[in-house]
Copies of this chain bind each other. A is one copy, B any other.
Amino acid sequence: MKVVTFGEIMLRLCPEGYLRFFQNDKMEATFGGAEANVAVSLANFGIDSLYVTKLPDNPIGRGALSSLRSFGVDTSQIVFGGDRLGIYFLEKGAAQRGSLCVYDRAGSAIQKATREDFNWDAIFEGACWFHFTGITPALSPELVEILQLALAKAKERNITVSCDLNYRSKLWSRDEAREAMTKLCGKVDVLIANEEDVKDVFGIKPGDSDITGGRLSTKGYEYQAQKLREAFGFKYVAFTLRSSVSASDNYWKGVIYDGSEFFYSKEYLIHIVDRVGGGDSFGAGLIYSLLNGKDMDQTINFAVAASCLKQSIEGDFNRVSVKEVEKLSGGDASGRVVR
């Protein structure tokens, strides 16, 4: 069961603990990116996980390569070239102070990649699943074309395609996003999103839910999921549902819609260590479960448990095994010592 992911991996620079930017002279230098996070998570679940990107042939690019390899991600189809690796600066919030993300990704190797860089036949050899997010086509018009090529190849090979909507307003306008994602979503089987992304990209509003403020209204999500399915014929639509009490405490759950029914996961109150990558780890959990033929209940609960654990872990990557996720999704949230 080989899963292919494609996107941008960045250098992540983060002050220690809860320090503000440049409060001291140290930064944690790790790597991450929406699709890379999914790739690492799947590798940790024991899946044959191939990640495709373009990296600059310098110590920064090789650092990203080494980080991916350390998890056993298959990096054999990564292309080298271009000038720089994208960077994002992250300041972790606490209490009523939210986290800050400063992106410095313009001109990255993957952003300047061309269709000649990727050999989709070689990439898809033996694969059964392809995953990307709405960030990748936002990086350049060429990447919209590349994804269209990739999706066409994927469909030829009967590869299941999943997409996490992931709207980034710094990268493109809503209109650009809608145009590109409408083109791509026709070939997507599984859509992952949250309420805000659906509203931003496709203009489908959930109605009365208020994200910044309090708890979420169920009806709004269900309406959005149904509309999306009608428009694009997705097999499954899955949503992460986050309610922020503060930067330190969040409620977290998920829902999956199979066209006939909505399956809700258990809800967790998470004392957050690092919330970045929460959605990506949900996506990876979903892909793992669907690949392994889990039913809808198991699927949404595994995905939510995986992403709940992610938020207790520093860095973008979800460093958990299937066994650990199943312990939580099986009901043990007590956090007792395992000796």
A interface, CB within 8 angstroms of B? 13, 17-30, 58-60, 62-63, 66-67, 69-72, 83-84, 87, 89, 91, 93-104, 106-107, 168-170, 211-213, 244-249, 268-273, 275-276, 305, 308-309, 311-315, 319-320, 324, 328, 331-339
Of B30, B87, B271, B336, which one neighbours A94 at CB under 8 angstroms?
Answer: B271
CB distance from A16 to the nearest CB of B (A): 8
Interface SS majority for chain A: loop
Of B19, B106, B276, B338, which one neighbours A100 at CB under 8 angstroms?
Answer: B338
Asked if residues B60 and A275 are in contact (CB atoms below 8 Å), the reply is no
Asked if residues A95 and B271 are in contact (CB atoms below 8 Å), the reply is yes
Residues in B with CB closer than 8 Å to A103 are 339
Asked if residues A99 and B20 are in contact (CB atoms below 8 Å), the reply is no
A85's closest neighbor in chain B, by CB? B104
Residues in B with CB closer than 8 Å to A87 are 87, 104
In the complex, 29 of the A-B residue pairs with CB atoms within 8 angstroms, ordered by the A residue number, are A13-B13, A13-B29, A19-B314, A20-B59, A21-B62, A22-B63, A23-B25, A23-B314, A26-B26, A27-B29, A59-B89, A59-B102, A60-B89, A60-B104, A69-B69, A95-B309, A95-B312, A96-B308, A96-B328, A97-B313, A97-B328, A98-B337, A99-B337, A101-B338, A107-B107, A211-B336, A212-B336, A244-B336, A245-B334
CB distance from A272 to the nearest CB of B (A): 7
CB distance from A136 to the nearest CB of B (A): 16
Asked if residues B268 and A58 are in contact (CB atoms below 8 Å), the reply is no
CB distance from A247 to the nearest CB of B (A): 3
Asked if residues A97 and B309 are in contact (CB atoms below 8 Å), the reply is yes
CB distance from A33 to the nearest CB of B (A): 14
CB distance from A231 to the nearest CB of B (A): 26
A89 to B339, CA, bound (A): 10
Residues in B with CB closer than 8 Å to A17 are 17, 314
A39 to B100, CA, bound (A): 25
Asked if residues A97 and B18 are in contact (CB atoms below 8 Å), the reply is no
CB distance from A271 to the nearest CB of B (A): 4
Asked if residues B212 and A332 are in contact (CB atoms below 8 Å), the reply is yes
Most buried by B among A28, A271, A275: A271
CB distance from A71 to the nearest CB of B (A): 7
Most buried by B among A89, A103, A312: A312
CB distance from A84 to the nearest CB of B (A): 5
Residues in B with CB closer than 8 Å to A71 are 66, 69
Q: A22-B59, A66-B72, A95-B312 are in contact. List 14 more A-B contacts (CB 8 A).
A: A21-B62, A24-B25, A60-B89, A66-B70, A69-B71, A93-B337, A95-B270, A95-B335, A96-B335, A98-B335, A101-B337, A211-B336, A213-B331, A276-B337
CB distance from A249 to the nearest CB of B (A): 7
A280 to B200, CA, bound (A): 41
With A101-B339, A212-B336 known as contacts, the answer to whether A312 contacts B96 (CB < 8 A) is: yes
CB distance from A130 to the nearest CB of B (A): 24
A270 to B18, CA, bound (A): 14
A337 to B102, CA, bound (A): 11
CB distance from A202 to the nearest CB of B (A): 20
